[in-house]
């Protein structure tokens, strides 16, 4: 048993200096560790019954330096779940972390009663047994802790895992789908570490405002791993599981790759890209062609996310990106591995968006700090405890339902940000981005999503097809987890 206070003890001192030393820790372990592949749990092979336990363990982020961490039936992170459309899965979740937790199925379109948000708390030592009926198109979604006010810390210490929803399209399209061989899960996170290899968490006022930004990017829990891949097409399922860091992913050789899916499923057709901004909470599936036998290094490049919102001068001071590319992982083609897929499909047949004209309600939401007139400058200067974030002037309250939507309806949400970039997430839906600052989204952002990067103004088309009563509402929030915990979250019912 371990309390949050115990987890954090000893980390605060070092954390304060670590937040700005981007990449400092990298040199030593580059591409020496094999990419760990989380265990695969196929619901069909387990009689549709899956048990997971949120637990405390020891994990080696750095070889030879075991550190306290959290995981789901694992020392860090959790198994990858493969769920098929049409299945009904009985989960049995135990809580052995010594404080309340929840398990939220981020990206699953399921009723509020089993959504795993703050209202579905599991007491220490308790269990939660939700039944999930899987009824949505193929997608890479994820699960993570979402307890009231403590999401950031629990996710940071490791309570997260991937879910692959399969609806038969992999086979139909001939997409790479051998888990861990040509279909690789990549949980990308940034972390800060103490000298002994333990996790450091920055609780300074600056980190509360910017979110926890670490100096080291880890993949599936390790620093700068190497993966052997077949000499053919390889599918990377990439989750930015960071608390607050925006990544700009690219290959060091500048080579192209093909985006096939965004958060909630397949695009209409593959989109060729050379880089991708990925916000905390966001997922992309890409195809990378290794037929030429050359190894490739995945990097995060400098970017200016947030620099164009509200107050440019100020945001430049509060950088969220390093000056230099950061190496994330290396992929080495191995002719001994069977290449199952060689051709990029021409079309993917992603589900069509609802017509914007079907929307019956327009809502305006503004993501902003709510500090009784003190504003952002006050927060920077004073950084007093209790500084709050909010949406449209209100901080999150468990007992306030912000609005109700009609089951089966479609709405347009106009989401605006003041001063910072916020990755906005909505539970219980797969939406579309209609416009970004008045212009249609680029092709890779035009597919089904549950996350939208808000720098100025974005319009979303949001359908509601699952039930959430006022007792078990859905959340909408910023996925910078420190902002969420500080109140940049609201809740709505769908009835
Ligand atoms: Cu990924 Cu409400 O969360
Ligand atoms: Cu969610
Ligand atoms: Cu935010």
- How many Å apart are CA 155 and CA 33, to the nearest integer? 23
183-333 adopts what CATH topology?
Immunoglobulin-like (2.60.40)
CA contacts within 13 A on the Cβ side of 110: 22
CA 194 to centroid of ligand 2, rounded, Å:
31
Please name the residue whose Cα sits nearest to atom 1 of ligand 1: 106
From the alpha carbon of 475, which atom of ligand 1 is closest? 2
- How many Å apart are CA 395 and CA 346, to the nearest integer? 46
The pLDDT value recorded for residue 350 is 83
- How many Å apart are CA 282 and CA 353, to the nearest integer? 19
Q: pLDDT tens track of the chain, all 495 residues?
A: 333 333 333 333 334 344 434 445 555 568 999 999 999 999 999 999 999 999 999 999 999 999 999 999 999 999 999 999 999 999 999 999 999 999 999 999 999 999 999 999 999 999 999 999 999 999 999 999 999 999 999 999 999 999 999 999 999 999 999 999 999 999 999 999 999 999 999 998 888 888 999 999 999 999 999 999 999 999 999 999 999 999 999 999 999 999 999 999 999 999 999 999 999 999 999 999 999 999 999 999 999 898 766 555 455 445 567 789 999 999 999 999 999 988 999 999 888 899 999 999 999 999 998 865 444 544 444 444 456 899 999 999 999 999 999 999 999 999 999 889 999 999 999 999 999 999 999 999 999 999 999 999 999 999 999 999 999 999 999 999 999 999 999 999 999
CA 423 to centroid of ligand 3, rounded, Å:
6
CA 418 to centroid of ligand 3, rounded, Å:
10
Q: CATH assignment of 33-166?
A: 2.60.40.420
> What residue ranges do the domains of the chain occupy?
33-166, 183-333, 356-494
Q: CATH assignment of 356-494?
A: 2.60.40.420
Distance of CA 478 to the CA centre of its chain: 11
Tell me the residue length of the chain: 495
What is the value of pTM for the model shown?
Answer: 0.93
List all residues whose CB is within 6 A of at least one atom of ligand 1. Answer: 104, 106, 144, 146, 281, 425, 427, 475, 477, 479
CA 33 to centroid of ligand 3, rounded, Å:
33
Vertex 291 angle, CA 287 and 295, to 5°: 85
User: For 79-109, what is each residue's pLDDT tens digit?
Assistant: 999 999 999 999 999 999 999 999 999 999 9
Which DSSP letter does residue 38 get? P
The pLDDT value recorded for residue 205 is 86
The pLDDT value recorded for residue 323 is 83
From the alpha carbon of 117, which atom of ligand 1 is closest? 2
Please name the residue whose Cα sits nearest to atom 3 of ligand 1: 106
Question: Residues near 144 by Cβ (< 8 Å), separated by ≥ 6?
Answer: 103, 104, 106, 151, 155, 159, 160, 161, 241
Ligand index nearest the alpha carbon of residue 390: 3
**Is 183-333 in the same CATH topology as 33-166?**
yes
CA 103 to centroid of ligand 2, rounded, Å:
10
The pLDDT value recorded for residue 251 is 98
User: For 214-253, what is each residue's pLDDT tens digit?
Assistant: 999 999 999 999 999 999 999 999 999 999 999 999 999 9
From the alpha carbon of 106, which atom of ligand 1 is closest? 1
Question: Residues near 6 by Cβ (< 8 Å), separated by ≥ 6?
Answer: none
């Amino acid at each position: 048993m371990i309390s949050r206070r115990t987890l954090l003890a000893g980390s605060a001192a070092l954390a304060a200096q670590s937040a700005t030393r981007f990449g400092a820790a990298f040199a030593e372990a580059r591409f020496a560790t094999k990419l760990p592949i989380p265990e695969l749990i196929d619901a069909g092979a387990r009689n549709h019954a899956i048990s997971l336990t949120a637990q405390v363990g020891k994990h080696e982020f750095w070889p030879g330096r075991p550190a306290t961490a959290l995981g789901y039936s694992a020392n860090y992170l959790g198994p990858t779940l493969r769920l098929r459309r049409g299945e009904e899965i009985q989960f049995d979740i135990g809580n052995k972390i010594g404080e309340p937790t929840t398990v939220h199925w981020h990206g699953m379109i399921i009723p509020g009663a089993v959504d795993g948000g703050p209202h579905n708390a599991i007491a220490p030592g308790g269990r939660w047994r939700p039944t999930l009926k899987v009824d949505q198109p193929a997608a890479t979604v994820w699960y993570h802790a979402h307890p009231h006010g403590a999401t950031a810390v629990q996710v940071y210490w490791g309570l997260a895992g991937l879910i692959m929803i399969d609806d038969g399209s992999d086979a139909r399209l001939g997409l790479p789908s051998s888990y861990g061989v040509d279909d690789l899960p990549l949980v990308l996170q940034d972390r800060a570490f103490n000298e002994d290899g333990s996790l450091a968490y920055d609780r300074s006022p600056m980190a509360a405002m910017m979110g926890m930004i670490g100096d080291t990017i880890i993949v599936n829990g390790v620093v700068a791993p190497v993966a052997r891949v077949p000499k053919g097409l390889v599918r990377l399922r990439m989750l930015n599981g960071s608390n607050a860091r925006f990544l700009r992913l690219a290959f060091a050789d500048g080579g192209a790759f093909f985006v096939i899916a965004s958060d909630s499923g397949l695009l209409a057709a593959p989109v060729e890209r050379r880089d991708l901004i990925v916000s905390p909470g966001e997922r992309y599936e890409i195809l990378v062609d290794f037929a030429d036998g050359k190894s490739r290094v995945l990097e995060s490049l400098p970017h200016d996310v947030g620099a164009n919102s509200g107050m440019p001068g100020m945001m430049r001071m509060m950088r969220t990106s390093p000056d230099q590319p950061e190496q994330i992982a290396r992929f080495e083609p191995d002719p001994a591995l069977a290449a199952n897929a060689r051709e990029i499909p021409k079309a993917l047949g992603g589900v069509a968006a609802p017509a914007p004209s079907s929307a019956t309600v327009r809502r305006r939401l503004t993501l902003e700090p709510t500090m009784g007139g003190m504003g952002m400058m006050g927060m920077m200067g004073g950084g007093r405890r209790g500084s709050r974030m909010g949406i449209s002037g209100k901080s999150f309250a468990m007992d306030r339902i912000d609005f109700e939507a009609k089951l089966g309806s479609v709405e347009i949400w106009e989401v605006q940000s003041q001063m910072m970039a916020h990755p906005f997430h909505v539970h219980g839906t797969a939406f579309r981005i209609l416009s970004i600052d008045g212009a249609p989204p680029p092709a890779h952002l035009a597919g089904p999503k549950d996350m939208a990067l808000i720098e100025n103004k974005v319009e979303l088309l949001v359908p509601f097809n699952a039930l959430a009563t006022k007792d078990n509402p859905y959340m909408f929030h910023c996925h910078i987890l420190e902002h969420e915990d500080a109140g940049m979250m609201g809740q709505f019912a769908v009835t």
